[in-house]
Structure 1
Amino acid sequence: MSEVRSKAGLAKSVSSILNKLNTTQKNEALLAMADALVSRSADIIEANAEDLRRGKEQGTSPSLLDRLALNESRIEDIAEGLRQIVQLPDPVGDTLEVIERPNGLNITKIRVPLGVIGIIYEARPNVTVDAAGLCLKTGNAVVLRGGSSALSSNRKIVEVLHEAMTHTALPKDALQLIEDPNRSSVDEMLKLNGLLDVIIPRGGSSLIQNVVMNATVPVIETGAGICHTFIDASADPAMAEAICINAKVQRPSVCNSMETLLLHKNFAESHLEELAVKFQKSGVELRGCEETKKLVSWVIQASSADYATEYNDYILNVKVVNNLDDAMDHIAAYGTKHSECIVTESQDNAERFLQGVDAAAVYHNASTRFTDGFEFGFGAEIGISTQKLHARGPMGLPSLTSTKYVIHGNGQIRQ
């Protein structure tokens, strides 16, 4: 039997045990896992160094190495994410609806775990802990398949979490890591109907599309982040600068960073040159349209392929548009329905943008970098869903549950 099928089977075998655990038992396990991460941080950092060394030898970009890197501070933040999950209400068992039928039937709709969740992700080892914590808190077993670039880190992290779980009511088999780095292990996960109840991909567009197009197991689609910021003619210049610099520079390697800056032509004529210099000083390469190049001659010519690219790097597209409609048309053509922002002092334009742009998160006068489960008050997140079924936007604990109808009667039969 393959590693994938064997470990998915182990997760499935204990999923019923998770259904019987109460919130206190789950929280005690998560706190033990958080403490173990901190106490074993030196071991985790040592394993992470192996991944970083291998990444450098393979020519991995600095921005991707940054996503991969762990240190004591980042491990403490990851552990804090688990502690935040402990503080959040457990959604399992929540009553969503009560229906009293004329025939006396009492129908209650409650939240229940999804079952066994498969998560396929790329280079960020923090996802290993976030996913484990969120899934286990909601009574789900989880099968993780991280990217090969973080294999040493993920292996050590799961080892540490397993050791912590052995002293709690949470069975360690509820958390599984697929260590086979070959793509065939992903392909096998996609077909594990009967063992996995749902698959959630996290990563770039190629990974997500492979999962969406080839899985027979149900998929919750998390989207690539080609995010835009539109600076309207009425925007406050200082606010616009702060928002768009933050959206690109604060952490360019993540999915909620800005990839294209759209500027109203009137704002661009007055402020683009100064803004471009600020980006240049921050190490950002600018690629612009013809109008952008007329205003800032040293900008590289952008292509339609650039506008369709999620860089996750210090590269930014810049486009000058005539009006709000042009900006919204560009977003409709190139956006990935993740996060979009308008900077404007016009309440009418803000409302038109917020109502008219189709995305999981739309912003008025705030950076797209806030599309994040922690920033939304959900604790750690499982991903940003860009689909329209079941869950959309940052996926916290309720998004990892399904529903069940519980019906109480007193002898009713259907006529």
Structure 2
Amino acid sequence: MSRVTCFVDVILPLAVPNLYTYRVPYDWNNSIAVGTRVIVQFGRSKLYSALVRRIHQNPPKQYAAKYIDSILDETPIVNEKQFELWEWMSQYYMCNIGDVMVAALPGGLRLASETKVVLNPAFTSKSKDDRELPLLSDKEVLIIDALEIRNVLSLQDISEIIEQKTVYPLIKSMIEKGVVFILEELKEKFKPKIESYVCFTASADDEDNLKNIFDALERKAPKQLDTVMAYINLSKRYSKERIEVKKSDVFKMVDGAEAALKSLVKKDIFEIYEREVGRLANYKSENKISSLNEVQQDVLESIKKQFGADTKTDSLIEATSLLNANTLSIIPAEGRGEVKDVVLLHGVTSSGKTEIYVKLIEEAIAKGKQV
């Protein structure tokens, strides 16, 4: 039986236009699979975790293929459907497939020489006796000790510390054990929106105490009294359902409320707390599609009628719908020998096309279909 030499075409997490071919060591022929990550050298000294896209037996003609350094995964982490989607995205958005890979894969799956590693806070919060050190190798313990001193290490730093060229499988193991995290340089690019809220303290919330507070403020601190009254109005204190009050809303109602609020906090009348608020919290209410007008409804029914036409007949179901504020007309696409389930909707700017799209999308989703 002849010895088979396998090669792999890999996707690198870089903005390069092509796949690159590497040679598979003979002993790994049965371990390699499409969709798994392999460590490869690209350039003189840089190492990257690349994705295997194809396996074949054809060596590259332009250069001598380097051997892959190691295999990171026992089973594929990307399937064929996902690869097809990546390739479509690469063509549609005119970018390199390596760019798509970088966007699609979590940071922990994209290892490179420059990758930064930090200790997992959940691991460092444990005492040394509770860290289950017997489950860690000597080299992993050495890396932990180094991270406790330096906080952040690159894979190149780790390679030098443990005097080992390939550290990717080791770091992968430590990630899976929950010991370390990959530090993403862009992890702070999105910052959650934090709002400051105002509320009465427990003592001030009592009605009897609140009456005494009113009397005291009315005599000595009218601006503080205005601030308290603004809070009561905003919180709807005496209605069935109270609501939280943002500090910024109080400032909008009362000029100069900043100093007054600080004084009220010192007097243990108010307390300020912060919490994260969703940026899309009001999406549904603010972006709800209103009901269609008469022209839009006619267009919608016309589109649905054409979509539902009998494709076994010669009736044409492709048409152009001209939509503006006053006119609706259907122009048949004559002379087409092929029947298609396509309707072209044409309308001037702000004529209401989007509302029609949304209605069609809602109906498709309600039927369990995809859009």
Interval containing the TM-score (normalised by the shorter chain): under 0.3
Greater share of helix residues, 1 or 2?
1
TM-score, with structure 1 as normaliser? 0.21
Larger radius of gyration: 2
